[in-house]
Structure 1
Amino acid sequence: MSGKMRAAQYNTTLNKVEINEIPIPEPGENDILIKNACASLCHSDLMLFWGHTAEKPPMEKVTIGHENAGTVAAIGKNVTGFKVGDPVGCLGCSYACYKCEGCRVHNLHCVEGTGRLHGFTTHGHFAEYSLSDYRNSMVLPAGMDLATTAPLFCAGITAYHSVKKCGLQEGDWIAIIGCGGLGHLAIQYAKALKLRVIGIDISDSQLESAKSLGSDLTFNSASTPGYEKEILSQTGGGVHAAVVLSASNAAYQGAPSVLRVNGILMVIGIPKENLSINALDILLGKYRIMGASSGTPQQMREPIEFSYEHGIKAHMTTFNDIGDIQKIIDLLESGKTAGRFGIVF
């Protein structure tokens, strides 16, 4: 497919995003070319601007974004299981071997070193068309809304894994710390799994959203002195797991105080500063630390189909012009937003 398209690209020299007209990419042998219906911005995309990425983009200008949904426009010669017109989404890492020990954990750990993260080390999805390795992609259930599905391919899958990996039983207590872009999805998954949910945030508006999604209790940790003791009282000793979805160091510092003995601290949010832990607490089993991510292609289908079956959707604010990308970045950086933000093409 020939022609030009508009793309939102990170300029590595200027450390800013810009709108450029670039060629529509040609699919390689393992690629599907996706005509994007929606691309959504993830908080981790902002790490480019902070200089917090493990690797610099290998090109001067890289198209940003790793959350998208759209339809197949063309396929490479090795592609199986996809046809033109299929509704699709994909995970954030393409071109790994998908077979090694590292790939069984996350494709960024591929021992061949070929895994490329969309929006960072290969072009992403904030463009009218984008590429994805077919081994990293899936055909969506018929009838899924593409705009609200786009953020499920990072935020949704990560939120699902963050709750499911805790291994809790029906009726157990889980604290969702940070009820915004990831948190509002985690609350929906936790309720669908029949857990009792406590929403914790510093934004009253996000806590209202948490209530509307079924949170059993909510607490503003900034304006409610002693909220930790109240949680311990209400839950009979503390929550069984606290999932930290906020990118705030303060959120991590407060999380252990609401856990019951040997509870799980689930690490999801990525703060600008490194975390500090009390080694003695871990040694003595006061609480355990785990982490979750969007995972591997083999783990992709379950959360997407679970979302479809339970009617779980991202709360989306969308823009119709890719030129509005800076507005979205500014909104996300403010830390005062709920839900997800995207561009509809």
Structure 2
Amino acid sequence: MIMQQVKAYGTEDPSTPLHELTIKRRALQAHDVQMEILFCGICHSDLHQVKADFGQYPPPIVPGHEILGRITAVGDHVKNFKVGDLAGIGCIVDSCDHCEYCNEGIEQFCQQGVTFSFNSPDKVSGGHTFGGFSKSYVCNERYVLKMPAFENLAAAAPLLCAGITVYSPLKHWGAGPGKKVGVLGIGGLGHVAIKIAKAMGAEVVVFTTSESKVEDAKRLGADFAVLSSDADAMAAYTNKLHFIIDTVSAKHDVNTYLGLLRHDGTVVLVGLPPQPLEIGAFNVVMGRKSFAGSNIGGIAETQEMLDFCFEHNITADREIINIQDVNTAFERLEKGDVKYRFVIDMASLTQ
């Protein structure tokens, strides 16, 4: 297969900082589009992958799966995009397209294995995928999103992972009028969850370990914010919440939050702690409560989310950086020192 060379930022080893390198992307196929990447968000799972928290990766790794750009070329059989269109690529860039899950529009659960934006075997090229910390991306149009004309495009880029990661479970578990929804953690995922849950019409209660974020939660739209170390404030919500979305990506005690659920309530984990979490049997048996998980969303639902966020003027609170500052950004992300999402201005890659 003909390949093209593309400038990118990545690393060959978890102990080596990200640096400029050249990768090979496949040339445009009949159903592909090529985009110039304008902005790429930095997700906590990018950090996990670079550090090999989920296992060693084939070198090199180029992170990035919140990819917003402009179409620069289209294959001969492309129907839904033209050169000049704004477009987005999230976590999914390929699937089998015919299994039960793909037919239901939940490609993220593809029975034959989904192809992710980076660090995933690429069935087309025979190599593996490289992410959005790069000059351009080539993808089958089926997995490319039509990007609404957000006033601030950089702030919209994180919706391609953070947005769908919280939108999908909020919709699936029925967040809306008459529902009390808890949001555990105010970070890249949690701050978007507050905005979306509120726009859906739910009453939103935020739980945070950071005193400084209690007031910020209200700025983001939460009805109430609770410092999780305040035992009395926590006790006031015992058996009160219909649903809690857990966005924490570090080891934590979820049993405390199971106790805040009403009967038949659910805590849904969307963060990715690298260590196992323990669940006490009585914390789910009493009250018929559930501890569940959710993983991004399908392509159609991601498009639905983008349109919903555009309609309700929802974007991420972001700090824009140059690609040359990405290692410092990863260090700050690991410490929780960002409000609330780093977004790379990819024009800096050519500087």
Q: Tell me whether the two structures share a fold, i.e. TM-score over 0.5.
A: yes
Q: Provide TM-score, normalisation by structure 2.
A: 0.87
Corresponding residue for residue 252 of structure 1:
254
Cα shift at 1:30: 3.2
Amino acid at match of 1:338: K
Say whether residues 1:243 and 2:245 are aligned partners: yes
Counterpart of 1:221 (choices 209, 228, 253) is: 228
Q: Which moved more, 1:181-190 or 1:330-339?
A: 330-339
**Matched residue of 2:236: which SS?**
helix
Give the drift of 1:303.
Answer: 0.8
Q: How does 1:304-315 map to 2 (within 5 A)?
A: 304-315=306-317
2:208 partner letter: D
Stretches of structure 2 that go unaligned for 5 or more consecutive residues are 121-128, 347-351
Unaligned runs of 5+ in 1: none
Task: Report the alpha carbon displacement of residue 73 of structure 1 after superposing the two structures with TM.
Answer: 0.9
How far is the alpha carbon of 1:118 from its aligned partner?
1.4
Give the deviation of 1:79 after TM superposition.
2.3
The one-letter code matched in structure 1 to 2:7 is R
Mapped to 2, the partners of 1:291 and 1:312 lie a distance apart of 24
Q: 1:77-115 deviations in whole A, cap 9, x for unaligned?
A: 3322011100001221212122312434743543444x3
Contact in 1 for aligned 2:91/2:161 (Cα 8 Å): yes
CA contact (8 A) 2:118 2:131 kept: yes
Normalised by the length of structure 1, the TM-score is 0.89
Given candidates 119, 122, 125, the residue that maps to 2:132 is: 125
The separation in 2 between residues aligned to 1:47 and 1:229, in whole angstroms, is 33
Note closer, same or farther for the CA distance 1:29–1:112 as it changes in structure 2 (3 Å cut): farther
Give the stretch that moved more between structures: 115-124 or 37-46: 115-124
- Note if 1:140 corresponds to 2:142: no
Opposite residue 74 of structure 2, the aligned amino acid is I
> How far apart are residue 48 of structure 1 and its match?
1.6
* Alpha-carbon displacement from aligned partner over 1:221-246 (angstroms, at most 9, x marks no partner): 13x133321223xxxx4111111011
Aligned pairs for 1:84-123 (under 5 A) are 84-103=83-102, 104=104, 106-113=106-113, 115-121=114-120, 122-123=129-130
Residue 139 (structure 1) shift: 1.6
What one-letter code is carried by the residue in structure 1 that aligns with 2:320?
A: T
Residue 38 in structure 1 maps to residue 42 in structure 2: no
Offset at residue 31 of structure 1 (A): 2.4
State the alpha-carbon separation in 2 of the partners of residues 144 and 2 from structure 1: 35
Residues 133/206 of structure 1: CA separation in 2 closer, same or farther (3 Å cut): farther
Q: CA deviation at 1:284?
A: 4.8
Range moving further from structure 2, 101-110 or 118-127: 101-110
Q: Once superposed, what is the RMSD of the aligned Cα atoms? A: 2.4
Please name the residue that 1:79 is paired with.
78
Alignment of 1:283-302 (within 5 A): 283-302=285-304
The 8 Å contact of residues 14 and 50 in structure 2, kept in 1 or not, is answered as: no
Once the two structures are superposed, the pairs formed by residues 260-299 of structure 1 within 5 Å of their partners are: 260-299=262-301
Does the CA contact (< 8 Å) of 2:67 and 2:157 recur in 1?
A: yes
Does the aligned pair in 1 maintain the 2:150–2:156 contact within 8 Å?
Answer: no
* CA deviation after TM superposition for structure 1 residue 2, in Å: 10
State the SS of the aligned residue for 1:266.
strand
- Pick the aligned partner of 2:169 from 159, 162, 168: 162
Percent identity, aligned pairs only? Answer: 28
How far off is 1:270 after superposition? 1.1
The letter for the 2-side match of 1:225 is A
Distance in 2, Cα, partners of 1:194 & 1:143: 22
Which amino acid in the other structure matches residue 110 of structure 1? C
